Each structure stands twice: as structure tokens, then as C-alpha cells.
Structure 1
């Protein structure tokens, strides 16, 4: 099992007043709750609820996240679990549709079957689920999204491991402008809160360099009808297209761009689903740059990756499953800290002060910062592989 080292990171120095308030609130919740077992906790099991895309154009993300988390929990369970309890996942499919996310979330919470919500996929889906979790005071943990709405303001019951979309767009724009000298950057975005969030990050990163979005077109969520959007962008003759959407949409957009004679580089953020995009796009995907929020799942110089590869089926190796694996490791570390009789309040308190190193991948929270990592890695698709790069060419 991965060694977990506690350490102090200056970026996450807790605010004293906020920390005292949170500790007092959680202590009060514990007293009111007494020793009654929480929903989703039995003598031999802690059950998490996972509602995400298991079907539809974002299914690769949900399936990958689930496979990685399941593999880490299997490792922990085979060693006796956490305080004698195995950790399990109750999976539901929302097809990346917010209305279904909300419905499934309400059902899980009202059924009393789950201790916490874990590993949701997407910004619009999280916007649908998060208010329900907050109202019920159920932890909403480690969604696959970098949206600001889950980060600011800080919500006591919401925690994110991954870097934000603002982190990703800043890193990508820095490399686009410094390494490649690009200035005409257009946006092809999913027409919803996910698209708007990344657009805001992109616009801010460009503005800091005295640039602006050169052109903009939109596609509907879960739609592969991209021809009109690509034609609209072609009129502005961009040097680069920053894409915000799913892997099937990006593959369709690239093919349409090539057919229409639009010669522009494509860039996108981690949510696209790197491994699924490569499969979907084939050779057309070569040259696309993708920002990542976890290290390369092929980097065997890392102890984290060696263990991950040993635990996860070869067919499931990829960025999404690695993120799920890391998320599960963070949850297990917090569950251990929450004590032998875990409550939702004690779990959240443990997370609020958790600072760990997962064999070279640090994750640290504080009461005033519920984003555990701000790491961003840039990759370039080449010959069917996502190759980590320090400099764009």
C-alpha cells in the first residue's frame, strides 16, 4: 500500500479563525449525533455513492474514474479495510445529464445507503448535485471537474483533489503564448456551465497577457453536431482553437476542421478524457495539446504509478482511472484519521486538515482551501500516446 507521509505545505496554511469555527461546528455536530452510526456505515462496511456518466459521450470518464477508485479500495479491503471496515461504491449512471444526477443523488441520500458522495463527473452535473448534498450535510468528495463553483466560496462539505480549470487554462496559455507565440486563440465550447467556467479561465489568462478570445462558437452538451460551430470559427481564421467539451465532440470538431480547411492547432483541458479521445480520434488526434491534473499513468519512475499499474487492469490504465485511484487513496487516508467510529462530521474535519504525500503526489487541504492539488501537466498527442512535454513545439 502507498506510504502516506504527513507534511506541511505553505500554500495551505490554515486560517486560524476559520479553523476554530469549523472545529467548533464539527464538535457540536458530533455531540448532537451521539454514537449513532451514520448512514452508509455498518460494523464491517463504509459505503460511498458514485453518480456519474456510465453511458453517453462522457462515459469513458465515469468508467475510468470508477475503475481506478475500485482498484484502490480493493487493495485496502484485501488488507483488512479501514478500522476493520471495507470500503465499497454504490454506482449510478447519470449519462452526464444534470436532471438525472439530481434525481439519483436525492435517491441515494434519502435511502440512507451512503456515507458520502464520491467521484461525480462534470460541472453541470455537480451544480445539480452539490446543493442537495449541502442541504443534507453529506460530504461531496473529489468530483471530476475544475469548476470554481465547487471551490469558491469554500463549502464545508465539498472537497476537490484536482487542480482547477483556472489552473489548467493559465498553464496552457502560458505555454501557447511563450513557446509558440500564438495570439489568435478562438474558443469552441460546450454551451453550459462547464463551457462558461473554462471560458472565464481562458479569458482571464489571455487578458493577463493583453490578449482576448479571438472568436467563439458553441455546441450543445452531448451533441456531435459541430459543423456550424467549426464554420463560424473558420471565418475568424484563428491560429489556435481552445476546445471545451467531451472527447467525442473534440474528435468530431477536428475532423470537421480538417475537411473544411481550417488549419489551427487544438488545445483542451483534462476533462476531455485523454485516453478516450485518442481512441476516438485516431491519427487525427496527433498534435492536440491536453492539460492534465495527475502525472502520466505510464511513468514507471514513480512509486505511485508502479503500484497503480499493479492494481488496475491493463485495459483501464489511463488518466481518468489514475485520478480515481488517487481520489480513493485520499479518501482512505481521511477515513483513517476520522477514527474507528466515523461520522460525516469527523470525516470532513479530518479532510480539512489533511496533508499527505502519495509517493510524490502531494495533496493538502486546509479549512480555508478545499482544493488538494494545483499541479498541472501538459501533454501532446503523438502516435496514439499522450506525451508529457515541458515546452510546446
Structure 2
């Protein structure tokens, strides 16, 4: 009898633990630039996230809460945000934006084993971090695709404009290594400081070698300014942007859209695929005045993956369990967009676009 009683007590304890171990509300926290030079990018990510969250039927929706905090694309501000998120019981970090900013908070993330999903950077060091699961393809993937395209077009005099920080260093190193594989080297390089518009030195450094193509590892605003000024030197050079250069913002800032190729990690948001159509419909419902963007579409898709994982989250209701579910996301969950978890990322394809007749057209 005593044995049966003890078993019943044990069962009650286990059931109580299961019932009460799940948090009353899952707080998903995001630090991103909602003001300053990168405001457009941060807002696109925020609205893309809310477009999915607000417009689809989600079981126990009231248990999930997104929090967005501004960091102006500054590492110290992101670090402050992350510490506050941690102290206020965030379940995970989502959509952290920028290579130098994310790199600055990794020591704190690693020390406290905080789960980070879908940071908006293609940095290679995030492909090797056990606390991070990436959604987008890497900068390395993008650069290899770009160089293969250029070489097929017999373009081998290639220069680079890059931001003088961890983001720019990533682009430089991958480009250097990729060209080296083809027994080539960079024609010239030019740098500028983050959150500034000081590009005169870069213009001089790059133009001296007369490249056929210039890869832009910058922000959209800097890319637009650089293109405008460089065309006064050479009207025929080809410009290629990395995905961190917001294509939609760059187009709005650039009068002459010719001879620009845009590298991206998601299909065009106006493509004839189910997910793109759903994104446009959902964004319009959220706010008819908000313009669709590649970043918005990327965050919309990443949010769908995240919410799907939450819908399958059961005991023990931990971020580690959620991470395992995300890694096992079905390959066909995004209609028209293949996903496969490898190299610690879910998307593995990159795309090249040109802008013509007011739309982005994929270069096959």
C-alpha cells in the first residue's frame, strides 16, 4: 500500500512539473536598427515578422510575444538590449541584425547558452556556433555564386568596397579566398567606417585599378552614394551588391538602375510562388502603406519556421528543445522555396537579380 501511495505521489509530481514548467508567455526578443542609417532595414524585418504573426491562425497565439528594441546598428547598444532581454526572461533571441553587432554579443550569448534564431547576417562564425541556428545562406555562399557568374561573363578584374568592421572583414576574406581558388586576386579595395558616409578615399583607391566590376560589401545608403560618385569616373563598370545591401532601398536612392546586380538569399517577393503571394497579402493587411522588401520577405519566412516550431513544442518546453525542432523542419514547409538544414542554416541557395521595368528579374 505504501509503495502504491509513493508511486501516486511521484505521478502527481511529474504531471505538475509538466503542467507548470511551460512558461506562461514565450518572449521572443529582437535587437535591430529602428533608427539611424539602417532604419529601413530594421523596420522591414519587424514588419515582415508581424505580417506572419498577425495574419495567420496560430495555436495559443497569446502565449507568444515579440519584443523589438532599437540598437541603431551599434554593437554597444545591442549588447545592452541583449542583457536586458536576458534579465527579463526572454525565451530566445530572434532577428539580431548585423555582423559587428551580433559578434559583440556572442560572448554573453555563449556564456549564458542563449538560443539565437535567424540573425540577419551571413557571417561564417555563426555557422559554427552551437547556440545559433541560421535561416539565411552565408556570405560565403553569396560570394561564390557571384564570382562564378562574373567569370562566366569573362569579368576577372574585380574590386571591393567594404565596411571597415567585422562585416566588411567577412566579405573581404571570403572574396579573397574565392578568387584565390581561381588563381585570381583583387584588383583593388576601398573601405569606409560604419555609420558614416566618408567614401572619398575608397573612390580613389578603387578607381586607380580600373576594375570591370566592383562588389559592394556596404549598406544601401553607402552603395548608392558610391555608385553615384563612381559613375563620374567610369560609366561602364558593373556593381554587385551583397544581400546586406538592401536592394529596395538602393533602388529608391539610385537614379540610374543599370549595371547593378543584386545578390539575395530569398526569391523575389513578387515571384509567382505561394509564400510570396501570402507575404504580400499579409503585409497589406498589417499596414497597406508598408512597402514589401527582400528583408521583409526573409523575416516573414523565418517567422513561419519559428512559429511552426513553437506549435510542436512540448515538454520540457526549453529553448534547446525548440532548437532541435527547428533543425528538423520539414523540407517542404515553405511552398516554392526548398529548405534543408545543413552548415547550420536552413536556406542554402542564393540568387542574383537585375532591376528592369520596375521589377527585380532573376539572372539564371
Please give the TM-score of this superposition, normalised by the length of structure 2: 0.89
Partner of 2:8: none
Equivalences for residues 50-129 of structure 1 within 5 A: 50-76=30-56, 79=57, 81-83=58-60, 85-112=62-89, 114-129=90-105
Partner of 2:180: 207
Q: How many residues align?
A: 343
Decide which moves more: 378-387 or 272-281.
Answer: 378-387
Q: Deviations over 1:206-242 (max 9, x none)?
A: 1222211110110111111212211111111111111
Q: Shift in Å at residue 269 of structure 1?
A: 1.0
Contact 1:356 1:364 in 2 (8 A): yes
Describe the shift of the 1:121–1:84 C-alpha distance in structure 2 as closer, same or farther (beyond 3 A): closer
Q: Shift in Å at residue 363 of structure 1?
A: 2.5
Residue of structure 2 aligned with 1:298, choices 240, 254, 270: 270
User: Take 2:341 and 2:329, find their aligned partners in 1: how far apart are those partners?
Assistant: 6
User: Take 1:98 and 1:139, find their aligned partners in 2: how far apart are those partners?
Assistant: 19
Q: Shift in Å at residue 256 of structure 1?
A: 1.1
Relative contact order, CA 8 A, sep 6+: which one is greater?
A: 1
Q: Shift in Å at residue 352 of structure 1?
A: 3.1
Q: Shift in Å at residue 275 of structure 1?
A: 0.6
- Whether 1:380 aligns to 2:354 is yes
Partner of 1:286: 258
Q: Deviations over 1:276-297 (max 9, x none)?
A: 111122x233321011100110
SS of corresponding position for 1:271 = coil
User: Take 2:277 and 2:356, find their aligned partners in 1: how far apart are those partners?
Assistant: 23
- Whether 1:238 aligns to 2:211 is yes
Q: Shift in Å at residue 61 of structure 1?
A: 1.4
Contact 2:248 2:294 in 1 (8 A): yes
- Unmatched 5+ stretches in structure 2: 1-13
- Unmatched 5+ stretches in structure 1: 1-30
Equivalences for residues 292-371 of structure 1 within 5 A: 292-299=264-271, 301-313=272-284, 315-339=290-314, 342-357=317-332, 358-365=334-341, 369-371=343-345
SS of corresponding position for 1:285 = coil
Contact 2:340 2:348 in 1 (8 A): no
Partner of 1:19: none
Q: CA RMSD in A?
A: 1.9
SS of corresponding position for 2:121 = coil
- Whether 1:165 aligns to 2:142 is no
Q: Shift in Å at residue 332 of structure 1?
A: 1.1
Q: Shift in Å at residue 92 of structure 1?
A: 0.4
User: Take 2:113 and 2:55, find their aligned partners in 1: how far apart are those partners?
Assistant: 29
Q: Deviations over 1:69-117 (max 9, x none)?
A: 11111123xx2x33464432111001111111111111111122x2110
Contact 2:353 2:362 in 1 (8 A): yes
Describe the shift of the 1:319–1:176 C-alpha distance in structure 2 as closer, same or farther (beyond 3 A): same
Contact 1:146 1:162 in 2 (8 A): yes
- Whether 1:257 aligns to 2:230 is yes
